[in-house]
Structure 1
């Protein structure tokens, strides 16, 4: 894994290009500060060797990442689209919602569905419903996700995720538009996904 460290000094705006990653060191960020996404989509993951880059959450505009609730070894923030965030945000108080905890719970629930095909279906629906947009008979995700990452998220191998993705392509339920960083999914596929609540 390749990443840079987030500067210790809080900043009102910090930008990353798609594919870039920063590591947040919790020991340098005491006092309950947090990161807040201003624009774009980020993947939050654990860089520990034992977890091999386990995804904890995806964040979008307005979501916060509390730095006082991180693993002692730190956390990584990967830009899936061009990303802008601030590292000097004050944590929202009394909202009763934590984006990272909610994503972690939903991803854990997906991993407990009966088989890999159901898990993939539920994952794609979760990503589209949270981070995508509907465009007629299709839904667009503003980023692509690797077969290896899909395997990690649904608890299968890359080979299994590739086989399942190929099946969706043959059924004209998934497309990757040439020259675009997005992923298109049939609206009917998303609407028929297992309900995750």
Structure 2
């Protein structure tokens, strides 16, 4: 797993191209705020092998005092701009990272890999996607290995399930674009409320 380090002093804004990761150290004095784009937050610990904790979008905050001792990594799934000199919002009662972690944990406890994959796509589309004509679009792609990690299966299983969805025309991966198209019927029929 490769990532770069932020400077010791807060810098704003930080711009990252798609695919780049940065280590956010534990710090009780600041907060990261996403200004533009979508990011994946994951654990840098060797034991957890890059376990996804959350996805963040514009306006979401990552409170640095709540991180594990090694911090967390932030990966740009789309071109990303964030600040790391923001003060945490107080009294709102909503923590984007905690909410995502809870939702991802709930998905991993569904009965079958098919249900977990469907619930994952429903969660991602409802929180980060948008409806575009006959399809729902996610503005980023995830590898089959990452999808396997998110639904608690192997890469082989996620590849098999994704291939089935593609053959049933419930999922489309346009060539040359960094988007993922999901059929609304797949999202609407998910047995998991997000």
Which category of TM-score, normalised to the shorter sequence, fits these structures? over 0.9
* Structure 2 counterpart of 1:47: 44
Following the alignment from structure 1 to structure 2, what is the Cα–Cα distance between the partners of residues 158 and 111?
15
Residue aligned with 1:30, SS: coil
The question of whether the paired residues in 2 share the 8 Å contact of 1:106 and 1:196 is answered with no
In the alignment, is the contact (CA less than 8 A) between 1:137 and 1:188 conserved in 2?
no
Cα distance, 1:136 vs. partner?
Answer: 2.1
3-state SS, counterpart of residue 169 of structure 1: helix
| 1:188 Cα offset (Å) | 1.0
Q: In structure 2, what is the equivalent of residue 8 of structure 1?
A: 8
Could you give the per-residue CA deviations for residues 59-94 of structure 1, whole angstroms, max 9, x where no partner exists?
000000000000101110000000000001110000
Distance 2:185 2:130 in 1: 14
Tell me the C-alpha RMSD between the 2 structures: 0.8
Contact kept, 8 Å, 1:142 with 1:182, in 2: the verdict is: yes
Residue correspondence of structure 1 range 102-121 to structure 2 within 5 A? 102-121=99-118
Superposed counterparts of 1:1-197, under 5 Å: 1-26=1-26, 29-31=27-29, 33-197=30-194
- TM-score (norm. length: structure 1): 0.97
Which whole-Å CA distance do the structure 2 matches of 1:30 and 1:158 have between them? 37
> C-alpha separation between the residues in 2 aligned to 1:39 and 1:193?
29
- SS of alignment partner, residue 50 of structure 1: helix
Query: How many Å apart are 1:30 and its aligned residue?
Result: 3.3
SS at match of 2:185: helix
Segments of 4+ moved more than 6 angstroms: none
Deviation, 1:137, is 1.8
